[in-house]
Amino acid sequence: MTLVRITALAGGIGGARFLRGLKAELAARGTPAEITVIGNTADDITLFGLRVCPDLDTVMYTLGGGIHEEQGWGRADETFTVKDELTAYGLEPQWFRLGDRDFATHIVRTQMLDAGYPLSQVTEALCARWQPGVRLIPMSDDPVESHVVIDDAQGRRAIHFQEWWVRMHASTPALSIVPIGADDAKPAPGVLEAIAEADVLLFPPSNPVVSIGTILAVPGIRDAVSTTGAPVVGVSPIIGGAPVRGMADACLTAIGVETSAGAVAQLYSGLIDGWLVDVADAGTEIDGVEVRALPLYMVDGPSTRVIAAAALDLAADLRPAGQSRASRQ
């Protein structure tokens, strides 16, 4: 059996869980596969002098066996001694809760970045410990940070995405969401190749605006996806008009897109060939995109494996379509 090269663009929790299901499904099938994950870094933030990359870490911890299962992010068996002490000193911000185990990851990352290593090499070094079983590459070695424009009692202003997401729980409407730095960012080494040379390209059920959307905002990546010969299959992060988890609806509203499985597929127009929607959204039709409906709630390992299997099967059925879409360009 030949090696199947699978490349996925991924945000945090949803992407990481889907990828774990994908690994399990490939292992069960006995398919020799090489998975490359292009991770979103636009929700990265510098806190307490430390560079925090939430999505990369969520993928790394989830696939490497270190994740806090119920929470979906952060480390298992986590403690918060450092954070509590920082609070005792009154150090801001206090709304971003970093655990002790997690702190170490950020210290190592910051030490390496300060020593001059690009984020992609830092991520590789961190993964040397976690062995996630995939090649995890940040979308870019250049810093990109999503900022959100809001207008509340304190007036109109731009704040870091994390402040809006974690501190405000996206309760204040976003007037716009801008991935600062994306325009000038270059894809990290290996990103374009992993897209161009993939046999299958996947969009896991990640946030279409601040995860997949920001990855695609790095110049060169959208083009690479739209011209790849591989079939591109996405999994809807929206079920029955609501995000599976998180507050993707607030992000979609900010960019004027309806919160529906069909609208997200439209957002990916020209990029995807296949689209998996939940049974609640059966009947969704998108021009030039093969839509299949199945239960999309990743409630446990087996249910997630079924979704990954459906994505692989759809890609296999679409292979000629993928080629024809590429020839459309």
Q: Point out which residues bind its own copies (CB under 8 A).
A: 48-49, 79, 81-83, 85-86, 88-91, 100-101, 103-105, 107-108, 110-111, 114, 126, 129
CB closer to its own copies out of 114 and 184: 114
CB closer to its own copies out of 112 and 248: 112
Of 326, 219, 308, the C-alpha closest to 272 is 326
CB closer to its own copies out of 50 and 209: 50
Of 108, 4, 3, the C-alpha closest to 57 is 108
Which ranges in 138-239 belong to alpha helices (H)? Answer: 161-162, 191-196, 212-216, 221-227
Separation of alpha carbons 246 and 169, rounded Å: 9
Could you give the count of Cα atoms lying within 13 Å of 137 in the half-sphere of its Cβ?
21
Task: Please state the closest distance from residue 285 (CB atom) to its own copies, in A.
Answer: 49
Q: How many CB atoms lie within 10 A of CB 153?
A: 5
CB closer to its own copies out of 112 and 139: 112
Task: Please state the closest distance from residue 36 (CB atom) to its own copies, in A.
Answer: 23
Task: Please state the closest distance from residue 321 (CB atom) to its own copies, in A.
Answer: 44
Residue indicated by tokens 């990265």: 44
CB closer to its own copies out of 90 and 256: 90
Separation of alpha carbons 233 and 256, rounded Å: 24
Task: Please state the closest distance from residue 71 (CB atom) to its own copies, in A.
Answer: 17
Task: Please state the closest distance from residue 100 (CB atom) to its own copies, in A.
Answer: 4
